[in-house]
Structure 1
Amino acid sequence: MEEEEIFELESGGVLKEVEVAYETYGELNEDGSNAVYICHALTGDAHVAGYSSSEDSKPGWWDDMIGPGKYIDTEKYFVICSNFLGGCSGTTGPSSINPDTGLKYGLDFPLFTIKDMARVHKMFVDKLGIETLLCVIGGSMGGMHAMRIAIDYPEKVKSVVLIATTSHLGAQAIAFDAVGRNAILADRQFNSGHYPEDKGPDRGLGIARMIGHITYLSEEGMRRKFGRALRNSDDYSYDFDPEFSVETYLDHQGRRFVERFDANSYLYITRAMDYFDLEKEFGSLEKAFASVKARFFVVSYSSDWLFPPAHSQEIVDALVSNAKDVSYSNINSHHGHDAFLIETDVIGPYIENFVWATSHKITDSFAYTRNSEPGRSDYEIIQNQFVVSGDVLDLGCGEGELLARLRDVNKCDVLGIDIDTESIGSCLKKGVPAVWADIEDSLESFADGQFDYVVLSKTLQTTKRPKELLKEIVRIGRKAVITFPNFAHISCRAQLFFTGRAPTTSSLPYSWYDSPNVHFFSMKDFEKLCRSVNIRIEQRIVPRTAGTGIVNFLPNLFGREAIYLISRES
């Protein structure tokens, strides 16, 4: 792509022309609705999948994810990946020819930002004639691009996947970038950025790569892979040559990197990352995401210390505070920041379900009622009698069946929270936004009265601090629906009386030693607790075991479970 008009950059610099190198996979459908745009990371390029030629020794950097029949199926989607502005794989950057001098730009190339990069992405997609992208997917620095596209061009994208990324670099990440740049600048061959292809600052660039690569791994991952193993002997050589396996591995990574990457591009791109700070630009993350229209799926990794899960959680909280459609999963992995490139079999199904749900409007509302979870008569009552419409937050949402019903039948705006990552994946398949979190530690970020209804269904008895949780629920919800098994049911009493053992029933099916339940309480216990913390009980329904009718006579004795509609006292 060439841009005829002068391209003005945030820094004040200008480019008279911009060329973009890109690859595509699959075919664009007639209405142009199946385009998936991949934003690569710092040292990536446009070659995201497959083999470009018979000379390629390896396929594209995300080949396990993209291709016919794979998670991002190129028989269904038109996949695009372009090398970003400032890159060294075909797109205009410091190694390009300056039209004013006929020489390579080098350090004469103007400084640019992530916003500039995103603008090039958008203009490039316009050149392809694509009005709207089905999904923009970015990992690490690519996630920054994806955020900027969604923020700056809200009409351009329907959904966004942000993987192991951040809304700003922390001081530690900026420090690592600075050390890497200084290694390049201090190399004798750097020559103020004007160096020949065959004699560049290879040593400095190799060291920069080694430093960066360390941040992509984790302590546990490095210990598992290398430990203190020696490479070529059983004893120390007592010199400064690399002899530990981890040393020779980093040397290898550095050597490979200088064969394919430009030192000047590394300087410019890492500086662009340093400047990326949505909160500084907009005043807050909430303001940054206020106008986005896309659905979001955010992914973090437990061992990522470069962009730790807390950074992803900040993005999720900002989207939730704006009532945006957002899902989030924190995946347990020992691979650190690079996990999304390594564990494609883990993240793949999530992305597959998310993109599929974006491209399909789910209208078969009765699919969820026909395949209802066993023993969930409370869902029918909640849907038909308690939650008529409005914004709904389901705490401990499981696979999202209740939320799917409320969304499709009652036309509610819904959000789920669950601590189980597999449940988040099931919600994604239903198109239900769901956030991975511990409900006892994650509600403080919600505003007072943010939801019309908060649902806590058969979960209160599993929490450690039910009193505090109830107070938070009625703070963030104008009304709340609470359901729980009744430990005072006659069958529980009989088992305790006649056998002297902990009871097991259809509502309490677990043995005492493997039960997720922490507290065993009755309806009377719950009502007493509500009175003690100024919670109003507006309605109570005690369904019969078969799910038809209600228990009116001695409900605390004959009710296996109870459903309450509560609110905060004025």
Structure 2
Amino acid sequence: MPSQANPVPPPVFAATSLPAAAARGDLTAQRSTRRVTLTPKYGATPCEVDVRYLWCGAPDAPTVIVQGGISADRDAVTFGDQAAGWWQEFIGAGRTVDLDRYRVLSIDWLTPAELGHAQAISSEDQADALAALVDALGIGRVHAFIGYSYGGMTGLAFAARHPYLLDRLVLLGSAHRPHPLATAQRSVQRSIVRLGVESGQPEQALALARQLAMTTYRGSEEFVRRFASAPEYRDGRFHFPVEDYLEQAGRQFVARFDIDRYLALSESIDLHDVRPEQVPTRTTLIGTPSDRLVPLADLCELQRRLQGPASLEVIDSPYGHDAFLKESDRLAPLLREALA
């Protein structure tokens, strides 16, 4: 059954217009919160949840949902003096996802604690929250759902559970289920974090888990190109060039991410399982051979099994799973075609 919105869902934050310096034409933005009702997959009863969202672009234009990986938030694009959004290179007036032609909708990922302390959070829960938000905002039908990584998993769940709300689906580095090797790698990362919590070193453990994750996000070619130089002896031992890169990535992640949130969303990736035969939506799949988390073989299987028409586009990139954040020149024409 479709998720139902609260009859009177007052926003927690008022809708605001874009700052004058960033405004183009009559573009507007809402960075707000709506309360909706849904029944968690791993919870016993329906619950009310506050969905934090950003909805920006040309008024009355078709809406495009954009969702990223587990470390992404609703700020896919930002304005004025704010730090750039996580997909800023692709979204904006005149850019690939053109805010003169579309309105972009993104949410902050939910966690089990926000669902009445459900046992876990699923990609289906995230999809149901988005569907309820679409209803609450009066959008009617979504022009496209662009999902990267976990966002693509949620997009597949959205298309399977709410096909009447969606015209087309674009999946970047996302499949219908996690690859078992990727699950093994994430399981080790979660074990590191749990051990750190038990031993009183949670931040150090989260940093190490992130460092391990970084070795799966990028391709082997990039590591060879960037970190092939000789080690440097300092502080009583040899330091390899890649270590400084990994340690910085760990520190940056700890500064902006919560441990419980990390554990819940990492687990949610590995709980993801959508039957492609239940997805009737026109779908564009985009992958790269260097992606070690989502192999092309999984995307080929997904393309074969999808109920609706589906195409598979392959880009050559050294950036692995992160290619979908880096390869704007290669991705732009594919995304424009998928949205057209």
Aligned to 2:50: 19
TM-score by length of 1: 0.51
Letter in 2 for 1:347: L
Distance 2:121 2:212 in 1: 23
Partners of 2:42 and 2:118 within 8 A in 1: no
| Aligned CA distance change for structure 1 residues 209 and 125 (closer, same or farther; 3 Å) | same
Letter in 1 for 2:56: Y
Aligned to 2:202: 201
Distance 1:220 1:82 in 2: 33
Q: What RMSD in Å do the two structures reach over aligned CA positions?
A: 2.2
Aligned partner of 1:272 among 268, 274, 279: 268
The reply on whether 1:38 has 2:25 as its aligned counterpart is no
Aligned to 2:278: 288
| Aligned CA distance change for structure 1 residues 272 and 188 (closer, same or farther; 3 Å) | closer
Letter in 2 for 1:38: V
Relative CO higher for 1 or 2, CA cutoff 8 Å, sep ≥ 6?
Answer: 2
Aligned to 1:216: 217
Counterpart mapping for 1:366-377 below 5 A? none
Q: Counterpart of 1:161 in 2: which secondary structure?
A: strand
In the alignment of these two chains, the number of paired residues is 308
Once the two structures are overlaid, the 10-residue window that deviates more, 12-21 or 42-51, is: 12-21
Letter in 2 for 1:73: D
The reply on whether 1:72 has 2:113 as its aligned counterpart is no
Distance 2:49 2:69 in 1: 20
Aligned to 1:505: none
| Aligned CA distance change for structure 1 residues 219 and 3 (closer, same or farther; 3 Å) | same
Task: State the percentage of identical aligned residues.
Answer: 28
Aligned to 1:355: 339
Partners of 2:208 and 2:250 within 8 A in 1: yes
Structure 1 residue 325: Cα displacement: 2.2
Letter in 2 for 1:8: T
Spell out structure 1 runs of 4+ moving beyond 6 A: none
Q: Counterpart of 1:43 in 2: which secondary structure?
A: coil
Aligned to 1:170: 179
Which whole-Å deviations, capped at 9, do the CAs of 1:456-504 have from their partners, x for residues lacking one?
xxxxxxxxxxxxxxxxxxxxxxxxxxxxxxxxxxxxxxxxxxxxxxxxx
Which whole-Å deviations, capped at 9, do the CAs of 1:302-340 have from their partners, x for residues lacking one?
211110111111111113xx4x32222111111111001
Aligned to 1:325: 309
Aligned to 1:184: 193
Letter in 1 for 2:64: V
Aligned to 1:120: 129
Partners of 2:36 and 2:51 within 8 A in 1: no
| Aligned CA distance change for structure 1 residues 253 and 4 (closer, same or farther; 3 Å) | closer
Counterpart mapping for 1:257-268 below 5 A? 257-268=253-264
Distance 1:137 1:190 in 2: 40
Partners of 1:2 and 1:17 within 8 A in 2: no
The reply on whether 1:336 has 2:337 as its aligned counterpart is no
Letter in 1 for 2:206: L
TM-score by length of 2: 0.84
Aligned to 1:300: 287
Aligned to 2:249: 253
Letter in 1 for 2:58: E
Distance 1:278 1:81 in 2: 21
Q: Counterpart of 2:94 in 1: which secondary structure?
A: coil
Aligned to 1:345: 329
| Aligned CA distance change for structure 1 residues 140 and 188 (closer, same or farther; 3 Å) | closer
Distance 1:190 1:156 in 2: 47
Which whole-Å deviations, capped at 9, do the CAs of 1:235-265 have from their partners, x for residues lacking one?
x348457x22211100000000011111101
Aligned partner of 1:111 among 117, 120, 124: 120
Which whole-Å deviations, capped at 9, do the CAs of 1:390-440 have from their partners, x for residues lacking one?
xxxxxxxxxxxxxxxxxxxxxxxxxxxxxxxxxxxxxxxxxxxxxxxxxxx
Structure 1 residue 226: Cα displacement: 1.6
Q: Counterpart of 2:256 in 1: which secondary structure?
A: coil
Structure 1 residue 75: Cα displacement: 0.5
Partners of 2:35 and 2:51 within 8 A in 1: no
Letter in 1 for 2:301: E
Q: Which has the larger radius of gyration?
A: 1
Q: Counterpart of 2:132 in 1: which secondary structure?
A: helix
Unaligned runs of 5+ in 2: 1-32
| Aligned CA distance change for structure 1 residues 154 and 15 (closer, same or farther; 3 Å) | closer
Structure 1 residue 278: Cα displacement: 2.5
Aligned to 1:526: none
Letter in 1 for 2:246: L
Partners of 1:302 and 1:308 within 8 A in 2: yes
Letter in 1 for 2:215: I
Q: Counterpart of 1:247 in 2: which secondary structure?
A: helix
Aligned to 1:129: 138
Aligned to 2:17: none
